Structure 1
Amino acid sequence: MDVTDEAKTNKITWGMLIGSLVTFANLYGPQTFIQHFTHDFHMSASESSLVLSISTFTLAFGMLVMAAISNTWGRKNIMVFSLIGSSILYILVGFAPNFEILLTIRALEGFALAGFPAIAVTYLAEELSGNQFPKSLAVYITGSGFGGFFGRIVSSSVLDLSNWHIAVFVLGTLTMILSIIFIFLVEPSKHFVPQEFSIKNWIGGIIAACKDTKLWYFYGLGFLALGVYVAMFNYIGFPLIKDFGLSQTLVGFIFIFQLMGSIGSMTVGKLSDRFSRAQMLCASLVSALIGISLTAVHFLPIVLMGLFILSCGFFAWHNLVSGWVSSSAIPAAKAYASSLYLLFYYIGSSVIGTIGGNFYDTSGWNGVVGIMIICCILGFILLGLVEMKLKKITKHATI
């Protein structure tokens, strides 16, 4: 690779890191304010959590639309629209006069946010070749974890000094500046071939991915994975502040476990030659179950250990299932199967994230722990069902 190609690759890599950071900072930034919304808008924890749930819900459906539109409009155009649009909408959140308008803005923001994660991997695959692609992809994925941490820590730090309105404005302004930097770093697609949008082909691909019954077990596992993870970090701030007396800034720093949780994903990669996906997914579910249970112990170091173990289990869980979807789907339905997996993945965070709030309102932190444990048990059941399904398919194939 010559100097020019290396410079281009570095610019794209840095650009995708920034884009990933902006996307997930804007998506998860308000998670820090859930406790404050309960006070300022006089509502329950489950109602306040809608500020995150509604964005992940519209993001999930938006990804299906954005991926199709990008085939006509172009990859970079969609990504720029996503980053700039979501940053503007994030700033507007701070000016919302009531919670209903705030939720409306967040719903629009979730749809706008969908453009970047729906297109990013496709753009990298088209523009980079050889070992450039996996290296840049790894940086992009790292950016998603770092973005969530960045959004929460900036919000928490400003929140301790002022109020959530100012914290929203500060983070929104920072992500807007980063979005503008992205425009100058990432070049327009050079290997992109525009295609005429066809609703018939789009619907046909989705139907093909739905007809493959074994994939529904994976969609269910994705639904449970992010649902458990978001429920944990939506409400853990309540007991950390109430029971352990931590400041908002210190609570913000617990999201560093999202960065450390990538250890789980890396471990899966290293052990993939020694153990089957099913074995590693079982271990991931066990890790998540142990981590969840430890947060019920009224001793801060044990709670923090539980958060770390759950994070490792979650990243491994998501890594394994998302890869399993891609390898199990028929060739014609691979892209649509991955999109549907992400659809259920993000809907899970909306549904279980909100239900967790209902359990917190009625039973406190132990109620949230209970619903997360039930989700893990359901995960074991789905894993058993998919194993039975795959064995049945293999048996018929050998007859």
Structure 2
Amino acid sequence: MTEFAGHRPGEPAYRRLIAGLFFAGVATFAQLYSPQAVLPFLAADLGVSPATAALAVSAATLGLALAVIPWSMVADRRGRRPTMAIGVVAATAIGLLAPLAPTMELFLIARLVEGAALGAVPAVALAYLSEEVHAGHAARAAGSYIAGTTVGGLAGRLISGPFGEAGHWRLGVFIVAAVCAASAVLFLWLAPRARGFAASPVRVGTVLRRLATNLRSRVQLALYAQAFLLMGAFVAVYNYVGFLLAAPPYLVPQWTVSLLFLAYLAGTVSSPRAGALAGRFGRLPVLLGSAGVMAGGALLLLVPSVGAVVAGLVIFTAGFFAAHAVASGWTPASAPAGSAAQASSLYYLAYYAGSSALGWALGLVFAGVGWVGVAGVVVLLCAIAAAWAQRVLRDPAARSGTD
């Protein structure tokens, strides 16, 4: 029997896999970020500050960050697809209950648990993809998966936002969870049975050694830095841009502000394009260029014009998702032998730790210094990420997976 080398574009199983992961991304990221579009309404309804309201996002991403490594251990034993199925179904059930929480404290607890359940998808999806797709097409497939996550993030925000303007932010978050339930069903139906996975016993010592091996790799640490810094910058901008535009001199109605999340479509386009460019020109030039695009978009956000803010968001978003598509696909590809799942888990640990920590911390900058301070810190984060990548990822080790 011929050894399985991975599905290729044009094969029915390849199409089902990409479509299945697309809907898994929708089910995950729509509910993960659905409160972001209604943060001003949530803050007013519950009487909390912008930074405290942003904890509705940070609590979920913190739960996800803490759960990715345990989920990867489950996936090594039970399989990639079953693990993702368990996580996304559990998260959807919790997501339907979370908006019913009467207080901010209970809502945050529900969001923390929901995020922990959602961690199964990002912890496992890229490992599943790397095992089931032919190596020559992995970068492009990873870009397609990331594109699906942008659609999920966009849908969650666009659906919940208008309900906030009508005074029903809880209903908006609930309806997003219902959409995620339908997406979870489609994932379960479409995703093909794994052929490249071989179950292995879960030994804590082995997992810890694999984690330690990745944490000793300069290449992996540089990729985790991209995740932490760029994702933190990205979430912070979207957390507080609604507060910016609702205040003078803009005074934009909040239902209009929610339409700004259409900028996510730039990421839907840029992420698969970045994957294709990385396969042609190499990952590092595309990653550095993407970080530069992010910084340019952030600077444009400083221009006191709604049109400039919209253009800046589109550019910033395109740059972020291009960088994420490259770095997230690079991580398992360059991982030390036998530790791809742990490498991906650590990437997403850094990714969502950045979302939680920087997404909240820049709210303090916003309160103390204003939007100029937020944009300045975002540009600095992009510069640090690019400098780190240029210093470490240009080495041959970044391509070979060794240090």
Question: How does the TM-score come out when normalised to structure 1?
Answer: 0.87
CA distance in 1, matches of 2:142, 2:288: 26
**Superposed counterparts of 1:175-190, under 5 Å:** 175-186=180-191, 188-189=193-194
The change in CA–CA distance for 1:71 and 1:178 in structure 2 (over 3 A counts) is same
Q: What SS does the corresponding residue of 1:331 show, helix, strand or coil?
A: coil
Distance 2:109 2:336 in 1: 38
Deviates more, 1:31-40 or 1:329-338: 329-338
Residue aligning to 1:153:
158
Counterpart of 1:240? 245
Tell me the residue number matched to 1:203.
208
Contact conserved, 2:127 with 2:344, CA < 8 A, in 1? no
Q: Which amino acid aligns with 2:359?
A: G
Once residues 190 and 168 of structure 1 are traced to their aligned partners in structure 2, the CA distance between those partners, rounded to angstroms, is 37
Determine the structure 2 residue equivalent to 1:284. Answer: 290
What displacement does 1:131 show?
8.5
Measured after TM superposition, the shift of residue 153 of structure 1 is 0.5
The TM-score, its normalising length taken from structure 2, stands at 0.86
> Which letter does structure 1 place at the counterpart of 2:218?
T
**Alignment partner, residue 226 of structure 1:** 231
Amino acid at match of 1:338: S
Shift of 1:347: 0.7
Provide the C-alpha distance between the structure 2 equivalents of 1:382 and 1:130, rounded to a whole number of angstroms. 27
Q: CA deviation at 1:9?
A: 5.2
Offset from partner CA, 1:86-108 (integer Å, 9 cap, x none): 11211222111211111111110
CA contact (8 A) 1:153 1:249 kept: no
Shift of 1:182: 3.2
Does 2:382 correspond to 1:379? no
Residue 367 (structure 1) aligns with: 373
Q: Does 1:341 align with 2:344?
A: no
Alpha-carbon offset, residue 135 of structure 1: 7.2
Alignment CA distance shift 1:276-1:81 (3 Å): closer
- The alignment partner of 2:100 has SS state of coil
Answer whether contact 2:140 2:276 (CA < 8 A) is retained.
Answer: no
Q: Choose the corresponding residue for 2:320, options 314, 317, 321.
A: 314
Matched residue pairs, number?
390
Displacement of 1:379 in angstroms is: 2.3
Preserved contact between residue 75 and residue 188 of structure 1 (Cα < 8 Å): no
> 2:139, 2:279 within 8 Å by CA — same for their partners in 1?
no
> Please, what is the CA RMSD of the aligned residues?
3.0
SS in 2 for 1:94: helix
Residues 1:130 and 1:275: Cα distance change in structure 2 (over 3 Å): closer
2:148 maps to which of 143, 147, 151: 143
CA contact (8 A) 1:261 1:311 kept: yes
Tell me if the contact between 1:13 and 1:140 (Cα under 8 Å) persists in the aligned partners: yes
Pick the structure with greater CA Rg: 1
Secondary structure at the residue paired with 1:43? coil
Gaps in structure 2 of 5+ consecutive residues: 1-9
How far apart are residue 21 of structure 1 and its match? Answer: 0.6
User: Equivalent of 1:84, from 73, 89, 98?
Assistant: 89
Offset, 1:341: 1.9
Aligned to 2:266: 260
Conserved in 2, the CA contact under 8 Å of 1:25 and 1:147? yes
Could you tell me which runs of 5 or more consecutive residues in structure 1 were left unpaired when the two chains were aligned: none
Q: Is the 8 A contact 1:82 1:116 kept in 2?
A: yes
- The more displaced of 290-299 and 275-284 is 275-284
1:55 partner SS:
helix
Instruction: Tell me if structure 2 keeps the 8 A contact 1:72–1:195.
Output: yes
> Aligned AA for 1:369?
A
CA distance in 2, matches of 1:131, 1:222: 24
Which SS does the other structure have where 1:196 is aligned? coil
The 8 Å contact of residues 57 and 347 in structure 1, kept in 2 or not, is answered as yes
- Quick one: distance in 1 between partners of 2:218 and 2:12? 45
Q: Which moved more, 1:267-276 or 1:59-68?
A: 267-276
Larger displacement relative to structure 2 (152-161 or 125-134): 125-134
Question: 1:126/1:373 Cα in 2 relative to 1: closer, same or farther (>3 Å)?
Answer: closer
